[in-house]
């Protein structure tokens, strides 16, 4: 990827009103997403006596995350671009669609949003556990790492194809649906193995609230590698030297 596309920006961006508004949008989108996604698993556990790891629980988690992400991306799209994922922000940065300093604001907002959502869930459910992501029996950290790389590649590739590519045309209107669908499908594929995070912030919130950090690095390294590969592949092969268009927001 040509290095000139990567924009560092300036420290003053950290206090710019548009950047702060965008970060707040990411914060609230993340609260919406994690509260619904993590909450669905907790609700299924309550209704079925710890049945969230059953096939029905996996389908419920897939649907809840797909619907919640569709909404979270939609409500943030016109303000922040609707990243709702540090890995997506990293992929956008590598393609020159967001500066490094604004990425820092997004990452902080996304992580805080996930923690706040999990704290709200713990309080609202009477101290129920917000289960941290973990590996299933027989799944090694390297197995999980490959899952996270491949699943996040699919997610960020979808983001580039439907939201970033300047040739997307009317396809951009269905970007939130496509992004929600790929996350839901990946949960069906990888949820039984490592929880199918694809999102470091989604893993971070429950880990902080439950203070469970076993193999937590997998849920950072895997998504960031997958996002980088997707950004580099799509940007160089399918966008190339065409004029770049950032994610749909006037704030970039």
**Range name among 3-12, 116-125, 126-135, 236-245 with the lowest pLDDT average:** 236-245
Estimate to the nearest angstrom the gap between the alpha carbon of 87 and the chain centroid.
Answer: 6
240 or 129, which is more confident: 129
Q: What is the pLDDT of residue 52?
A: 63
pLDDT tens digits for 164-212?
A: 999 888 888 999 999 999 999 999 999 999 999 999 999 999 999 999 9
Contacts of 29 by beta carbon, 8 Å cutoff, 6+ apart: 72, 73, 75, 76, 80, 82, 84, 113
Q: Does the CA dihedral 136-142-148-154 come out positive or negative? A: negative
pTM score of the predicted model: 0.92
Query: Which percentage of the chain shows pLDDT scores above 90?
Result: 78
Asked if residue 15 has pLDDT above 90, the reply is no
Q: Locate tokens 């069906």: which residue?
A: 188
| DSSP 8-state secondary structure symbol assigned to residue 3 | G
Q: What is the pLDDT of residue 242?
A: 55
Asked if residue 85 has pLDDT above 80, the reply is yes
Q: Residue 187 CB: number of other CB atoms within 10 A?
A: 24
Cβ distance 33 to 118 under 8 Å? no
Asked if residue 72 has pLDDT above 60, the reply is yes
Phi, psi of 49 (to 5 degrees): 60, 70
| CATH pick for 3-239 out of 1.10.3720.10, 1.10.3470.10, 3.40.47.10, 1.20.1080.10 | 1.20.1080.10
Cβ distance 7 to 96 under 8 Å? yes
Q: What is the pLDDT of residue 115?
A: 98
Contacts of 111 by beta carbon, 8 Å cutoff, 6+ apart: 86, 200, 201, 204, 205
Estimate to the nearest angstrom the gap between the alpha carbon of 61 and the chain centroid.
Answer: 15
pLDDT tens digits for 142-171?
A: 999 999 999 999 999 999 999 999 988 888
- Domain coordinates in residue numbering, the chain: 3-239
pLDDT tens digits for 103-123?
A: 999 999 999 999 999 999 999
Q: What is the pLDDT of residue 250?
A: 43
Residues 49-58 have a mean pLDDT of: 78
Q: Distance between CA atoms of 135 and 106, rounded to whole angstroms?
A: 28
Q: Does the CA dihedral 18-21-23-26 come out positive or negative? A: negative
Q: Distance between CA atoms of 28 and 88, rounded to whole angstroms?
A: 16
**CA separation, residue 31 to residues 46, 118, 191 (Å):** 21, 8, 21
Mean pLDDT of the chain: 91
- Residue among 240, 231, 251 nearest 89 (CA): 231
Asked if residue 59 has pLDDT above 90, the reply is yes
Residues 18-22 have a mean pLDDT of: 95
Read off the tokens for 62.
Answer: 């897939």
């Amino acid at each position: 990827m040509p290095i000139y596309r990567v924009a560092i920006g300036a420290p003053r961006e950290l206090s710019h009103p548009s950047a702060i508004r965008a970060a707040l949008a990411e914060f609230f989108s993340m609260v919406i997403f994690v509260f619904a996604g993590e909450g669905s698993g907790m609700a299924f556990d309550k209704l079925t006596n710890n049945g969230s790891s059953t096939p029905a629980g996996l389908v419920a988690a897939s649907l809840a995350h797909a619907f919640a992400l569709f909404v979270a991306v939609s409500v943030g799209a016109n303000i922040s671009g609707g990243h709702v994922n540090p890995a997506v922000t990293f992929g956008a940065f590598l393609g020159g669609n967001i500066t490094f300093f604004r990425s820092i604001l997004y990452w902080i907002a996304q992580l805080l949003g996930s923690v706040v959502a999990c704290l709200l869930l713990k309080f609202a459910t009477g101290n129920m556990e917000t289960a941290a992501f973990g590996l299933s029996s027989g799944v090694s950290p390297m197995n999980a790492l490959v899952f996270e790389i491949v699943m996040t590649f699919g997610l960020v590739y979808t983001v580039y194809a439907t939201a970033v590519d300047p040739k997307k045309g009317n396809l951009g209107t269905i970007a939130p649906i496509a992004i929600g669908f790929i996350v839901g499908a990946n949960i069906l594929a990888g949820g039984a193995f490592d929880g199918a995070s694809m999102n470091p912030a989604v893993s971070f919130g429950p880990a902080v609230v439950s203070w469970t950090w076993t193999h937590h690095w997998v849920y950072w390294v895997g998504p960031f590698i997958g996002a980088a590969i997707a950004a580099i592949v799509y940007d160089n092969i399918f966008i190339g030297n065409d004029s770049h268009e950032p994610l749909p927001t006037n704030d970039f």
